[in-house]
Structure 1
Amino acid sequence: MLAAEIEPADAPGRRRSARAAVALDARIDRGGMDRALCRVVDLSVHGARLETYSALRRGATIWLTLPQIGEIIADVAWATDFVAGCEFHAPLTQASFDALVDLDETLRLQ
């Protein structure tokens, strides 16, 4: 008989920082080559999960323009079809993170 411990993927302590489910429109710039709209659907101070209209490549550097925050540089950590996860070069401040979560809540109430 085999025994194994199974740990949930989102177990407490596995992530560097808290994440928030959001739905924020943003823009991606790939180093001046092209610009595309996207939606931020998951956010932390260290990165975000994006839904895109054009495929991103793992390892690519992007400039992500977030509402109220402006442009931040990020690397694509993973990508499948039109969903990608990116890691910010510099973490968001807690105040910026809170402002984006508050903006999402305000938009959902409208």
Structure 2
Amino acid sequence: MFAAEFEPLFSDNRRRDPRAPVSFDSAAEEPGGLARTLCKVIDLSRHGARLSTYSALRRGMAIWLTLPGIGPVGADVMWADDFAAGCRFHAPLDPDVFEALTGRGGHIAAH
């Protein structure tokens, strides 16, 4: 008989901030408007988001991710797999904006 301990290769402990489950429609657009795809943001942190996309994104591409109430946010695609992707924002979201987007309070003024 043999026993082994399992330790996952990746852990959420490496995240700067916890992610919150969300569900809102968005769009990801390459700078310069060369390509645009509709997507759904399925989780969010102050530093990034996970997307469900209708067109495949590529790892390493820069995008403008349109967030409700605040508009386009610059981000880099850190990973992409079929029709899912993870992106890191160029600048962290303001804490009040994050709270409003995740339904934890606050209100985003329309621009």
Q: Give the TM-score band, short-chain normalised.
A: 0.7 to 0.9
Name the amino acid aligned to 2:67. L
In the TM superposition, residue 5 of structure 1 has moved relative to its aligned partner by 6.1
What's 1:63 paired with?
64
**Residue aligned with 1:51, SS:** strand
Identity over aligned residues, as a percent? 55
Indicate yes or no: 2:78 matched with 1:86: no
Partner Cα distance (1:6, 1:86) in 2: 25
What's 1:9 paired with?
11
What's 1:72 paired with?
73
> Unaligned regions of 5+ residues in structure 1, if any?
104-110
Trace 1:27-106 onto structure 2 (pairs within 5 A).
27-31=27-31, 32-102=33-103
Q: More deviation in 30-39 or 46-55?
A: 30-39
In the TM superposition, residue 36 of structure 1 has moved relative to its aligned partner by 1.7
* Dislocated runs of 4+, deviation >2 Å: 1-10
In the superposition, the TM-score normalised over structure 1's length comes to 0.82
Partner Cα distance (2:35, 2:4) in 1: 51
**Residue aligned with 1:22, SS:** strand
Please state which structure has a larger fraction of its residues in helix.
1
Query: How many correspondences in the alignment?
Result: 101
Partner Cα distance (1:53, 1:71) in 2: 18
- Output the aligned Cα RMSD: 1.9
In the TM superposition, residue 3 of structure 1 has moved relative to its aligned partner by 5.4
Name the amino acid aligned to 2:35. D
Name the amino acid aligned to 1:26. S
Report Cα offsets for 1:55-98 as digits up to 9, x if no partner: 00000000001001211100000000000000000000111100
Name the amino acid aligned to 1:6. E
